[in-house]
Amino acid sequence: MRPTPWKVGELARQTGLTVRTLHHYDEIGLLTPSHHTATGHRLYGDADIARLQQIRSLRQLGFSLEQIGQCLDSPTFSPQRVIQLHVARLREQIELQRRLCERLESIAEGLQSAEGVSAETFIQTIEDMTMFEKYYTPEQLEQLKQRREEVGEARIQEVQEEWPRLMAEVRAEMERGTAPEDPRAQELARRWKGLVREFTGGDPGIFNSLKNLYQGETTVHGMDVAPMREMQGWVSRALAAAGESW
């Protein structure tokens, strides 16, 4: 076994990360090397390597770097729990790929037979592909399904009707030049935050996936998301001015 400590370049090569990423982790206090050479170069020990693995697992689980830092520094933090969560996520992804593989094999057999392949089968296959490739993990999709059942269709309909009204009010205040410190801005921001939390159930991973969706796509449900990004930024600034976070 190769002895530690590791130099930053060696660690980057072995893990597939970049030196820039490791430097960034150090700069924000997320992963500070335990040792340095006489000339000031970073050296990573065994405990640093273990923490790096936990960081990468939490990143794949959808946590932001800020949330990861809070998690790792919590007195109740459990490295075993991180591993268990990551294993569970991977098993779900494996199961999703297995189902997709079975559907594709079924389509291939159908295309060779006289029966052909129904439109419904193609739709189900596309749905599985979309679930796997897009922004939400299978675990998160299941959580959202359960959340929908908990909230109920009546409340979901109310929220769907509330969003356009709230967005119109936010847009109007933005066009008036209302500052984030203004009580009107902060009241709208709290309403916005409340609707988002109804959707996510307060889950930070789902919130990050939702944010990534709107940052990574140009349209969502046929809607241009560029205006939504602007409003989201204004709302975030209003929450920050009020001393609140998501």
pLDDT tens profile 126-140:
655 554 456 677 677
Which pLDDT band, with edges at 50, 70 and 90, does 123 fall under?
A: low
Q: What is the pTM of this model?
A: 0.46
152-163 burial, b if ≥16 CB within 10 A, otherwise e? eeeeeeeeeeee
Which residue did the predictor score with more confidence, 79 or 105? 79
Structure confidence at residue 25 (pLDDT): 94
C-alpha dihedral (93, 98, 103, 105), degrees to nearest 10: 140
Residue scoring higher pLDDT (112 or 207): 207
Query: Residue 95 in contact with residue 138, Cβ under 8 Å?
Result: yes
Confidence of residue 124 (pLDDT cuts 50, 70, 90): low
Residue 33: which of 58, 56, 25, 20 has the closest Cα? 25
Share of the chain above pLDDT 90, in %: 23
Average the pLDDT over 97-122 and give the result.
70
DSSP-derived letter for residue 182 is S
Using the predicted structure, report yes or no on whether residue 13 has a pLDDT greater than 60. yes
Q: How many CB atoms lie within 10 A of CB 187?
A: 14
For residue 223, what pLDDT is reported? 59
Give the residue-averaged pLDDT of 79-98: 76
Q: What are the Cα distances from residue 122, in Å, to 61, 97, 101, 108, 224?
A: 29, 16, 13, 11, 27
Q: Which two tokens stand for residue 116?
A: 């052909």
Give the burial class of 81: count Cβ atoms within 10 A of its Cβ; 0-12 exposed, 13-18 middle, 19 or more buried: exposed
Cα gap 113→177, rounded to integer Å: 64
Q: Is pLDDT larger for residue 12 or for residue 98?
A: 12
Give dist(CA 151, CA 45) in Å, integer. 48
Helix or strand run (H / E) with residue 109: helix 79-112
